[in-house]
Amino acid sequence: MTKLNTANDLEALRKQIQAQRQSIRTTLTLCGGTGCQASQCSDVIAAVKDALIKNGLEKSVTVRASGCHGFCEQGPLMVIEPGNVFYCHIKPEDAQDIVSKTVMSGVVIERLLYVDPVSGKTIQTEADIPFYQAQDRQLLSQNRLVDPCSIEDYLSVGGYAALAKTLFQMTSGRVIDEIKTSGLRGRGGGGFPTGRKWADCMEAPGDEKYVICNADEGDPGAYMDRSVLEGNPHLVLEGMMIGAFAIGAAQGYIYVRKEYPLAVEHAKIAVQQAREYGLLGENILGSQFSFDVEIARGGGAFVCGESTALMASLEGKVGEPRPKDVHTVEEGLWYKPTTLNNVETWANVPFIIKNGAAWFAAKGTKNSKGTKILALTGRIKNTGLVEVAMGTSLRTIVYGIGGGATNGKAIKAVQTGGPSGGCLPVSKFDLPVDFDALYDAGSMVGSGGMVVMDESTCMVDVAKYFLQFLQDESCGKCVPCRLGVDRMLELITGITDGRGKPEHIGLLQELADTVRETSLCGLGKTAPNPVLSTLRYFPEEYAAHINQKRCPAGVCKPLITYAIDAEKCKGCGLCLSACPLGAIKGEKKQAHVIDPQLCSKCGICADECKTQAVTVN
């Protein structure tokens, strides 16, 4: 690897890489993201490479293990170019067929094609799949074009051109103006205008400044940042370099969750590669700009997603937030001016610099510009990562892209914004994905998690779930969050246990207001949102628990009992062997019974039963 000393060196290298690749006839891109790795994609990738060698095609066909394509449910998956043929649920034993039939003879293998669960039709190309069709994949589409461990791949798709433009054609003021004009707002949850943050940091006095990439994506149900950092780490690095140039920082940090081992590894490799090419280090591309990046692994504390807690953690301390009366852009890491943005925010920067602010601002709503990546999960047909223009309605996302409910159950709500967000009912599904619109409705875009819930989900239990999460994750520094969340959880547990009283609702609301107004950091300030939003939109579920001691969804254990319908039970014994507590008795081919003394009401028997003989009362 030769060090690049000028912008011309960079362009020459790019042309050389592109020229070398012209002889490649076919590219097989297999997703190598965390989701597909869980589906054993590594075995498939190895088998495909083997099959190519056996057929003497290893030089003319490229196999690319790329980052996340977003359609994790269909993994392991592969896209074959030219032709855009999309194969899913591939097994290692399919490799020989793929090479001999599709690669060598152009024959499409029917059994590996995607079947749309809504229409039941078989679809041949990635572009025709409804899940992808309704999206606007500005950031995510590049995931498929690059191997995250190959800087050459990133250069071949125009990588680091925005950095060269920044260094040699722009001043830091111009860069900040461009980001301001684009209307980019922080993708981590707060939605703070990025350009304003950068300007404040640039103007803050001090020679030593820092940039930080927040990849401590702690929101349960969200994995946008994992996929971007893991799938396209150089894009994030390039964004950080441009930001560092704008504010005048020489050192950057990527703070990434330890629970994302692949993202940690890919970020480390990317930093190493950028250093070897001289894209990180002293006098980058021969300019006056020097900058380096270090990777720090998060310790599994949700509160470290909060900027001041994250900075404390980077300093090697306990991740406790501090008051923000002086902002981190003035006194951040080591009390020096610091710009902290989340992964997706940094990833948008190179595109804005390359294509211009107007290009970015052309998408979205009045105050929420560009696209947003969302993690669409829960009880719907198509789950995965989706990227849509800001302003797209929840309905389009849940039904258009997500394909609607599974198992014929009616969708009840969508939970957005993680533990800081709220649950929005179907009647609000015409709301657009917009920072302000969702906030006004009692939820938030947050980092982009979207968990769809159907009638089998109890909304009181959901509120309890988030309170348990927040109680567990509260750092304990400030009293309102430490004790307030605890008391709210106590009240709501009383309700789900059948001990709730009507006056508890008012008490919950009062506590929620106090916690929101008096907590030190964002974790506490937003902690009441799941309770408040479920109280606002699903009061009838609270009423059923309190007044009738009934859980309409059949979830809250103290309010339900399981029984076996003797007429439906065939005595197959499936439930008997599945029960972890041995609470089911019965002879073969005789109706079985549940011992209520031993039953923990886990519901495993109901899921196992093929004749729906297990009933919930």
Applying CB under 8 A, the residues found at the interface with another protein are 34-35, 37-39, 72-73, 75, 217-223, 226-227, 257-261, 296-302, 313-319, 375-379, 383-385, 415, 418, 449, 451, 453, 457, 462, 465-466, 469, 472-473, 475, 578-581, 600, 602-604, 607-608
For the CB of residue 262, give the shortest distance to another protein in the complex, in Å. Answer: 10
d(CA 110, CA 592): 44
State the minimum distance, in angstroms, from the CB of residue 538 to another protein.
15
- Closer to another protein at the Cβ: 68 or 184? 68
* Of residues 616, 487, 488, the one with CA closest to residue 551: 616
When the beta carbons of 314 and 614 are compared against another protein, the nearer one is 314
- Closest contact distance (angstroms) between CB of 74 and another protein is 9
Please state the closest distance from residue 461 (CB atom) to another protein, in A.
9
Q: Tell me the C-alpha distance between 301 and 320, whole Å.
A: 10
CB 384 within 8 Å of CB 73: yes
C-beta closer to another protein: residue 174 or 317: 317
H helix intervals, 3-93: 7-20, 34-38, 41-54
Q: Rounded CA gap, 339 and 359, in Å?
A: 24
Burial of 149 (0-12, 13-18, 19+ CB in 10 A): middle
Q: The tokens of 262 are what?
A: 């692949």
Residue type, 275: R
Instruction: Give the whole-angstrom CA distance, residue 226 versus residue 231.
Output: 8
Q: Which CB atom, from 357 or from 478, has the smaller least distance to another protein?
A: 478
Nearest distance in Å: CB 447, another protein: 11
Least Å from the CB of residue 313 to another protein = 6
Q: Specify the residue, 178 or 217, whose C-beta has the smaller distance to another protein.
A: 217
Task: State which residue, 359 or 465, has the beta carbon closest to another protein.
Answer: 465
- C-beta of 517: minimal distance to another protein in Å? 26
Burial class (CB in 10 A: 0-12, 13-18, 19+), 32: buried
Helix extents (H) in 21-66: 34-38, 41-54
CA distance 469 to 517: 20
Q: Torsions phi, psi of 362, nearest 5?
A: -70, -20
The least distance separating another protein from the CB of residue 106, rounded to whole angstroms, comes to 31
Name the residue nearer to another protein (CB basis): 61 or 213: 213
Task: Provide Rg for the chain, Cα atoms.
Answer: 26
Question: Token pair for residue 195?
Answer: 């350009």
238-252 as b/e, with b when 16 or more CB fall inside 10 Å?
bbbbbbbbbbbbebb
**Tokens for 166?**
């920044």
Of residues 29 and 383, the one with the C-beta less far from another protein: 383
In the bound state with another protein, the residue whose beta carbon lies nearer, of 206 and 582, is 582
Please tell me the distance from the alpha carbon of residue 293 to that of residue 212, in angstroms, as a whole number: 9
Residue 615: which of 559, 538, 563 has the closest Cα?
563
Q: How far is the CB of 600 from another protein (least distance, A)?
A: 6
Choose between 415 and 534: whose C-beta lies nearer to another protein: 415
Q: Is 146 helix (H, G, I), strand (E, B) or coil?
A: coil
Please state the closest distance from residue 608 (CB atom) to another protein, in A.
Answer: 6
- Shorter beta-carbon distance to another protein: residue 239 or 449: 449
Closest separation in Å from C-beta 279 to another protein: 24
432 upstream amide cis, omega within 30 of 0? no
From residue 465, alpha-carbon distances to 144, 341, 438, 458, 607 in Å are 35, 28, 21, 10, 21
Q: CB of 378: closest distance to another protein in angstroms?
A: 5
Phi, psi of 23 (to 5 degrees): -80, -10
- Beta carbon nearer to another protein, 250 or 318: 318
Q: Give me the least distance between CB of 497 and another protein, in Å please.
A: 15
Of 102 and 420, the one with the shorter C-beta distance to another protein is 420
As a whole number of angstroms, the distance between CA 200 and CA 330 comes to 8
Three-state SS for 445? Answer: coil
**What are the beta bridge partners of residue 212?**
253, 340
Q: Closest approach of Cβ 281 to another protein, in Å?
A: 19
What single-letter DSSP state applies at residue 4? P
- Smallest CA-to-CA distance from 219 within 373, 379, 382, 425 is with 373
Q: Give the Cα separation of 304 and 398 in Å (integer).
A: 30
Of residues 297 and 592, the one with the C-beta less far from another protein: 297
